[in-house]
Amino acid sequence: MRIVPVLTAAAVITALYLVVIERDDLMAFARGEDAAAAADASPEPAGSQELAQAEDNRVGVVALHSKARTIGSAVILRGQTQAIRQVEVRAETTSTVISDPLRKGAQVKAGDLLCQLDPGTRPAMLLEAQARLSEARARIPESEARLEEAHARLKEAKINLTAASKLSEGGYASETRLASAEAAERSAVAGIATAQSGLETSRAGIEAAAAAVASAQKEIDRLTISAPFDGLLESDTAELGSLLQPGSLCGTVIQLDTIKLVGFVPEAEVNKVTLGADAGAELATGQRVQGKVTFLSRSADPNTRTFEVEITVPNPDLSIRDGQTADIAISSAGRLAHKVPQSALTLNNEGQLGVRVVGTDSTVEFYAVQLLRDEADGVWLGGLPETADVIVVGQDFVTEGVAVAATYREAVQ
């Protein structure tokens, strides 16, 4: 008979007896206590055991002591830079360029020559129009003299008619003479009308000749195409010898000493933006600029339902270019907010975004929040009380009304 299995079975039975039957004495022996004293010790009250059991059943969480702070709730949007003015200078007449071209990038002043066109026969046409004007003006004295002569003839005819009428009444003149006097008067009246018409025709001729002179002069003025304002050439001007027609491009002038930041504000935030509000932007190059809101559209874009906003920014050194991407922040009225780790955000059973906090009775409460700003080290939330113990570890393992055993830490200011 083998003795090893028997001894093993006896050892196992002894161990089971000690663990199951003599558990209290065994634990007291392990703690170094007197087994008899432990057996004689009075049992704990039932209430204390229940309280201890309740304490053991609380869920352990980590909460953040947070106090609301005032932050500027800026309106954040993305936009781009635009030149304050950009004009394509085009020809208004047909002719050939006779000036050397200016190259793009050149600075120009208002009134500087961009393109000079060949005058052709236009000076001769101007001289012809001026001669016609002089001729028309010379006709005026002659027409006025004819009108005065016609008035004199009418006056003479009236005198003769009066004399003939009186002699005819006394029987000293024949009816033929009276009729002749009446005809002379009617002829004098017609002569006045003709002279008056001639004078009006002469005056109309003067106006037509003056209009022809002005038209010829305007046509000559169109031969010189100048810069409309101070700026930079965005393109080369028309090449020497090229034919320009009405609408042909001479050059593009752009003004950059003041620049605009153009973006589009969502309709939910448009009431936060006011004219004159301070605004800042960071360009794609990392450059930061400051300006003020100078325009806010009153009509939404029909496709995106957003409102255009413009911010004017000084650019004296021309370091900002047209068409650069810009992250824009427009200042608005501040509000109270809490800064918590982004991981503290959770959802309730209704799908609302919020955080869970430790209430006054150490139970969990849920608050729906508004996300005001997102930063690298946390998010700013609205909708919480002025002070709140926000659960930042374990919030996804508890629900509203659950008792918790919280470990607290202070928020980093």
**Residues 65-94: pLDDT tens digits?**
999 888 876 788 999 999 999 999 999 999
Exposed/middle/buried for residue 329 (C-beta within 10 Å: 0-12, 13-18, 19+): middle
| pLDDT at site 310 | 96
- Residue 312 forms part of a structural domain: yes
Q: At what angle do helices 175-221 and 122-169 cross, to 10 degrees?
A: 170
Confidence (pLDDT) at 46:
47
| Residue 191 resides in a domain | yes
Please provide the size of the chain in residues: 413
Least confident of 39-53, 95-109, 156-170, 214-228: 39-53
Residue 203 resides in a domain: yes
Residue bearing tokens 């809490």 = 338
Of 334, 366, 391, the residue that ends a domain is: 334
> Distance between CA atoms of 284 and 265, rounded to whole angstroms?
20
Residue 223: which of 339, 348, 123 has the closest Cα? 123
Helices H / strands E in the chain, number of each:
6, 22
Q: How many CA atoms lie within 13 A of 110 on its CB side?
A: 4
Q: What share of the chain is helix, strand, coil (3-state, %, to 5)?
A: 35, 35, 30
Q: Which of 274, 307, 334 is the last residue of a domain?
A: 334
Q: Using the Cα atoms of residue 299, residue 300, residue 302 and residue 308 in order, give the sign of their dihedral.
A: positive
Q: Please report the pLDDT score of residue 192 as a whole number.
A: 82
Q: What is the CA angle 40-21-9, rounded to 5?
A: 145
Do 127 and 213 share a domain, yes or no? yes
Are 388 and 323 contained in the same domain? no
Q: Are residues 267 and 316 located together in one domain of the fold?
A: yes
* Identity of residue 382: G
Considering only residues 116 and 37, tell me which one the structure prediction assigns the higher pLDDT: 116
Asked if 375 and 361 sit in the same domain, the reply is: yes
Among 277, 310, 334, identify where a domain stops. Answer: 334
Q: What integer pLDDT is reported at residue 195 of this predicted model?
A: 80
Give dist(CA 89, CA 81) in Å, integer: 22
Q: Based on the fold, state whether residues 210 and 126 are members of the same structural domain.
A: yes
User: Is 31 a residue whose pLDDT tops 60?
Assistant: no
Dihedral-angle region of residue 32 (phi above 0 means left; psi in -120 to 50 means alpha; beta otherwise): left
> What's the mean pLDDT in 95-123?
94
Both tokens assigned to 22 = 């003599």
d(CA 243, CA 120): 13
Residue 110, in any domain of the structure: no
Region 53-63: mean pLDDT is 73
Cβ atoms of 258 and 84 closer than 8 Å: yes
Hey, which residues does 265 pair with through a beta bridge? 307
46, part of any domain: no
Whether 103 maps to a domain, the answer reads no
> How many domains does one find in the chain?
4
Q: Do 217 and 152 fall within a single domain?
A: yes
Tokens encoding 325 = 């991407």
Q: Is residue 85 part of a domain?
A: no
CATH number for 361: 2.40.420.20
| Amino acid of residue 131 | A
Quick check: 390 pLDDT over 90?
Answer: yes
**Stretch 312-318: mean pLDDT, rounded?**
92
For residue 126, the domain's CATH number is 1.10.287.620
Average pLDDT, rounded, for the chain: 84
How buried is 250 (Cβ within 10 angstroms: 0-12 exposed, 13-18 middle, 19+ buried)? buried
373 and 292 share a domain? no
Q: Which two tokens stand for residue 309?
A: 């906003």
Question: CB burial class (10 A; 0-12, 13-18, 19+) of residue 401?
Answer: exposed
Range of the domain at 37: 4-41
Residues 145 and 171 in one domain: yes
Question: Per-residue pLDDT tens for 178-197?
Answer: 677 778 778 878 888 888 88
Q: What is the DSSP string of 172-213?
A: SS-HHHHHHHHHHHHHHHHHHHHHHHHHHHHHHHHHHHHHHH
| pLDDT value at residue 106 | 93
Instruction: Supply the CATH number for residue 297's domain.
Output: 2.40.30.170
- CB atoms under 10 Å from CB of 263, counted, come to 23
In a domain, 315, yes or no: yes
Whole-number Å distance between alpha carbons of 123 and 135 = 19
